[in-house]
Amino acid sequence: MKLLENTIDRIESLDEEMMSKARERVDNLVKPSKSLGKLEDIAVQLVGITRKINPVIDKKAVIVMAADHGVYEEGISSNPQEVTFAQTLLFPKGLTGVCAIGKVSGANIVAIDIGVKGEIPDDAGVIKRKIKHGTDNMTKGPAMTREEAIQSLEVGIEIVNQETKKGIHLLGTGEMGIGNTTASTAILSVLGNCDPLEITGRGAGVGRGGIEHKVEVIRRAISINKPNPADAIDVLAKIGGLEIGGMAGVMLGAAANRIPVVVDGYISTVAAIIAASIEPKAKEYFIVSHASAEPGARMASDLLGIEPMLNMGMCLGEGSGAALAFPIVEAAGSVIKHMATFDEVGLTI
C-alpha cells in the first residue's frame, strides 16, 4: 500500500510552460497550420511529459501482464484455460502477435506472470511476480481481496521502476488471460453504469452458452459482490483481474516516472479507467493506440475520454496495438525535433 501511495503522490500534471513552448514551435514549423493533425498534439504531449523540447523516445517496451480468472469455471470461454500458461511461455520466445509487431517497431516485450494458473519454469524468461494462481470465481464472491488488488497495482509499479532504471523512454501495456474480457466488461458495466448486455462481446471465444450466458454471469458477479463505483480499487478487487490491476499499476508507475504510456485495446483501456480513477492526473500521460473491435471498446474510450489513434479492426490484446502505434508516437517526437521553423529557414508567413 505504501508503494501505491508514494507513487500517486509523485504524479504531477504535465509541464504547461514546456507545452506552451512546444505548441509555439509546432505552430511555426514549415507546414500549413495544423496539417499534421494528431501528430502535433502528441508532440506537444511528449514535451509536457518529458519536460524536453526534443523528447527522446527511442527505447521502448511493452509490458505484458499474464493471469488467469476463476470465473472461467462458469463456461464463459471456448478456449482451454491452459492457453494462458502456454501463451505466456511464448512471449520470451518472440512467437506471439505482439512480438511480431514489436520486431518492426523495435519494442522489447516484457512478460510478467502476475497470476497464471500453474508454475512457470524459472528458466522460461518470464518475470515471476505471481500473487495467486488466478483470481477466485467472482460469481461466488470477490475475485480477490482488496490487499491482493493493491498488490497487483504495486507489481505494475515495480516493473516500471525497474524498466526506468534501464533507461526506457516509452511504455505500452499488454495482457494475456483467458476470461479477461468477462472481468473487463464487468468493470466497465459498473464504472460506466450500464447493463452488461450493451457491451459484452465474444472475447477470444465465447462458451457454449453464448453471449447471453456470459452476460448472465457478469450480472450475477456484480449482484453478488456489489462493487462500489466510487472506489476503483473495490471494483478491481471484486470483479477484476490481476493482469488488469497490473496494467493499471504500469500506467500509474509510468506517470510517476514521467514516461508516456501507450494503452492497447479494450482490456487495457479498462485498466486505464481504473488507473485514472485512482489518480486522475495519470491520464495526462496516456496515449490510446487503437479502437478495439470488442463491443464495449467505444464506451471504454468515451469513459476514459481519450480518442484512439487507429481503427484496424483488431482485438488480439497482448499489447499488439500499442506496439503498432509506437512508430506513430516516435514520428511525433521526430516532427518537433527535426522539422525546421519558418524563421530557421528564413521564410516569413
Active site positions, annotated: 318
Count Cβ neighbours within 10 Å for each residue of 21-58 and write b for 16 or more, e otherwise: ebbebbebbeeeeeebeebbebbbbbbbbbebeebebe
Q: Is the dihedral of CA 229, 311, 181, 244 positive or negative?
A: negative
| Alpha carbons 269 and 184: distance in angstroms, whole number | 9
Burial of 229 (0-12, 13-18, 19+ CB in 10 A): middle
All three cell numbers of 6, joined, read 508514494
All three cell numbers of 272, joined, read 486505464
Q: Is the dihedral of CA 90, 93, 96, 99 positive or negative?
A: positive
| Alpha carbons 30 and 61: distance in angstroms, whole number | 32
Residues in the chain: 349
| Alpha carbons 334 and 70: distance in angstroms, whole number | 45
What is the residue type of 200? T
Half-sphere exposure of 159 (CA within 13 A, CB side): 34
| Alpha carbons 306 and 329: distance in angstroms, whole number | 15
- Determine which helix (DSSP H) or strand (DSSP E) holds 66, and give its type and residue range: strand 60-67
